A and B are shown apart, each in its own frame.
Chain A
Amino acid sequence: MKRRTFLSLGAASVAVLGTPWFSGCGRNNALHQALAKPQMLAHLCDESGIIEIGKAYVSQAPDESRIEKLTELLQTATSGSITSSKLSEIDLLMIEKSEEDFQKNNTVIVNGWVLSETEARQCALYFLIQ
């Protein structure tokens, strides 16, 4: 992660702290938990809503129906691979990745939601690790 990116995410980082209901998923590993947090959606719908989106995405993109595959896709960022050693940064990186998706029109419609590909995958991962 480049320093420029962190600076540009200053405002977003404040918002991340206020994410309403993500509280960890017990036995699942920390990287999966960190990746599976669609920050914007967490402010717009409840946990069951995220799970529904995740379930629908998995059904609509069967190639991405495995935890490993989703983890790999989510970890791939424009600026390089995200590693588990930077767990504390993942929230911000996912926000940036999601914003990039919108800028590049990398969007998908899942259950009617117009989402960035990243947040759709985050929902899918959240669904799978439950």
Chain B
Amino acid sequence: MRALALSLAVAAALAAGPRAEAAESGAAPPAVGWSFDGLFGTFDRAALRRGLRVYTEVCAACHALEHLHYRNLAGIGFGEAEIKAIAAAVDIADGPDAEGEMFERPGRPSDRFAAPFANENAARAANGGAYPPDLSLIVKARPGGADYLHALLVGYGDPPNGMTLHEGMSYNAYFPGRQIAMPAPLSDEAVEYEDGTRATVAQMARDVTSFLAWAAEPELEERKRMGVKIVLFLIVLTGLLFAIKRRIWARLH
């Protein structure tokens, strides 16, 4: 099986003749305009808090966030006590203990975000054979990034005339192939926001996308802040070196 997949892949990559497109690509996602775009972009803290709630109450039922630890929430303004409470709300499998038994205990800030399934097979079995991907890097791992993810979350609808969906699939204009195994995850008022914001599908899609953009690039704010200083410094340095170069070379003329 593995050898077959492999040789097929190699044949596909090497065959210079026409080959069938594996899947029709999805529609181009519209540009949303994010607070973290641009040279001075930063994350909207309130949106990230709301996004965490959407992730926890909706996405986390199927999708893991493997590369994030609860302690990372300090990076977006959560206090120590808050993080402890969030972590303690989930049970984490740990062990073996002194008797050699595995046991469950409340989460700690140093734990990774709890995964909904024990392994990929369990995840597939619970989701009709489809594997809900880990979301830690989803914004970096898809062409179009945050715009794509946002478009996907609001892009559910009825299939166009003449298109028949496979068993258990939903129509989504932005998903490659336009059929997705994930049913529309968001519905109005699916969560209740602490800050009183109305939880429309559009609002939740924006919030959870912002949260996952942070999850994928927690260094983004620091990176851009440093970048502005470093590039400004280098522009000045370049200018000075150019002036010195002109002075030194003037000796030759």
| A and B bind | no
